[in-house]
Structure 1
Amino acid sequence: MKYISTRGQVPPVSFSTAIAQGLAPDGGLYLPATLPDLAPFLKDWESFSYAQLCEAFMAVFATDIDRAELKSIVERSYTKFDHADIAPIQKLSDDLFVLELFHGPTLAFKDFALQFLGNLYEAQIARTGNPISVLGATSGDTGAAAIHGLLGKTGVKTFILYPDGRVSPLQERQMTCTGADNVFPLAIKGSFDDAQAAMKTVFEDHAFAAEVGLSAVNSINLARILAQCVYYLSAFFRLPAEIREDVTFVVPTGNFGNVLAGWLVQRMGVPIKGFRVATNQNDILHRLFQTGIYQLDEVAPSLAPSMDIQVASNFERFLYYAEGCDSAKVREVISTFKQTGKYVFEDFKSDGISSSRTNDAEIGAIIKRVYEQYGYIADPHTACGFTGDFDGPQLVLSTAHPAKFPDTIVDAIGQESTHPSLETLKAREIVKHAVEPTPAAIKAFMRAH
Structure 2
Amino acid sequence: MRFISTRGLAEPLGFSDAVATGLAPDGGLFLPETLPDLSAQWAQWAGLGYAELCYEFIKLFATDISPDTLREIVRKSYQHFDHAQTAPLVALDSSTYVLELFHGPTLAFKDFAMQLLGNLYEHQCAQRGESINVLGATSGDTGAAAIHALLGKPGTAIFILYPDGRVSPLQERQMTCTGADNVFALAIDGSFDDAQAALKTIFGDTAFRLKNRLSAVNSINLARVLAQCVYYLYAWLQLPSEARERAEFVVPTGNFGNVLAGWLLRRMGVPIPGFKVATNQNDILYRLFTTGEYRVAEVQPSLAPSMDIQVASNFERFLYYQLGSDAAKVREVMAACAKDGVYRFEDFDRSAFSASRCTDAEIPEIIARVRRRYGYLVDPHTACAFKELSPEKVSVVLATASPTKFPETIGEAIGAEPKHPRLEVLGKLPIVKHRLPASVKAITDFVEAHAV
**TM-score category, normalised to shorter length:** over 0.9
What amino acid is the match of 1:423? E
Deviation of residue 87 (structure 1)? 0.3
Aligned partner letter, 1:416:
E
1:49-60 equivalences under 5 Å are 49-60=49-60
Paired position in structure 1 for 2:296: 296
Residues in 2 aligned to 1:350 and 1:43: alpha-carbon distance in whole angstroms: 27
- The aligned counterpart of 1:419 is 420
Q: Measure how far apart 1:305 and its partner are.
A: 0.1
In structure 2, stretches of 5+ residues that fail to align are none
1:262 has 2:262 as partner: yes
Output aligned runs, 1:8-407, within 5 Å: 8-390=8-390, 391-407=392-408
SS at match of 2:281: coil
Amino acid at match of 1:419: H
CA separation in 1, counterparts of 2:246 and 2:87? 20
Cα contact 2:135–2:159 (8 A) shared by 1: yes
Q: CA deviation at 1:389?
A: 4.5
1:283-342, Cα deviation, whole Å (9 max, x unpaired): 001001111111010000000000000000000000101221111221111100100111
| Structure 2: distance between partners of 1:75 and 1:11 | 32
Q: Secondary structure at the match of 1:130?
A: coil
User: Equivalent residue for 1:2?
Assistant: 2
**Aligned with 2:81: secondary structure?**
coil
For the residues of structure 1 that align with 2:371 and 2:188, how far apart are their CA atoms? Answer: 36
CA distance in 2, matches of 1:371, 1:389: 16
* 3-state SS of 2:355 partner: strand
| Counterpart position of 1:436 | 437
What's the CA shift for 1:10?
1.6
Letter matched to residue 318 of structure 1: F
Q: Deviations over 1:199-240 (max 9, x none)?
A: 110001111111110001100000000000000110011112
* Letter paired with 1:439: V
- Partners in 2 of 1:417 and 1:98 — Cα distance? 19
SS of match in other structure, 2:8: coil
> CA contact under 8 A between 2:389 and 2:395: conserved in structure 1?
no
Amino acid at match of 2:166: R
- Contact 2:252–2:382 (CA under 8 A) maintained in structure 1: yes
Query: How far does residue 245 in structure 1 lie from its aligned partner after superposition?
Result: 2.3
Write the letter of the residue equivalent to 1:443: T
Distance in 2, matches of 1:412 and 1:70, equals 44
For 1:347 and 1:271, locate their aligned partners in 2 and report how far apart those are by CA, in whole Å. Answer: 23
Q: Does the 8 Å contact 1:7/1:27 carry over to 2?
A: yes
Identity %: 65
Q: Contact 2:133/2:212 (CA < 8 Å) preserved in 1? A: yes
Partner secondary structure for residue 35 of structure 1? coil
Aligned partner letter, 2:400: T
1:341-399 per-residue CA deviation (whole Å, 9 max, x = no partner) reads 11111122224111110001111110010000000001000001011241311000000
Equivalent residues, number: 449
Question: 1:322 touches 1:351 (CA, 8 Å); kept in 2?
Answer: no
- Structure 1 SS opposite 2:361: helix
Q: TM-score, normalised to structure 1's length?
A: 0.99
CA distance in 1: counterparts of 2:237 and 2:291, whole angstroms = 34
Quick check: 2:20–2:215 contact (8 Å CA) kept in 1?
yes
Structure 2 CA distance, aligned partners of 1:264 and 1:273?
A: 13
Instruction: Judge which range, 113-122 or 347-356, deviates more.
Output: 347-356
Q: Secondary structure at the match of 1:121?
A: helix
Q: Distance in 2 between matches of 1:382 and 1:389?
A: 12
Amino acid at match of 2:384: C
Mapped to 2, the partners of 1:34 and 1:173 lie a distance apart of: 41
In the alignment, what sits opposite 2:446? 445
How much does 1:43 deviate?
A: 2.4
DSSP-derived class of the 2:346 partner: coil
- How big is the alpha-carbon RMSD for the aligned residues of Structure 1 and Structure 2? 0.8
For 2:12 and 2:95, the matched residues in 1 are separated by 43
- Structure 1: how far apart are the matches of 2:287 and 2:162? 26
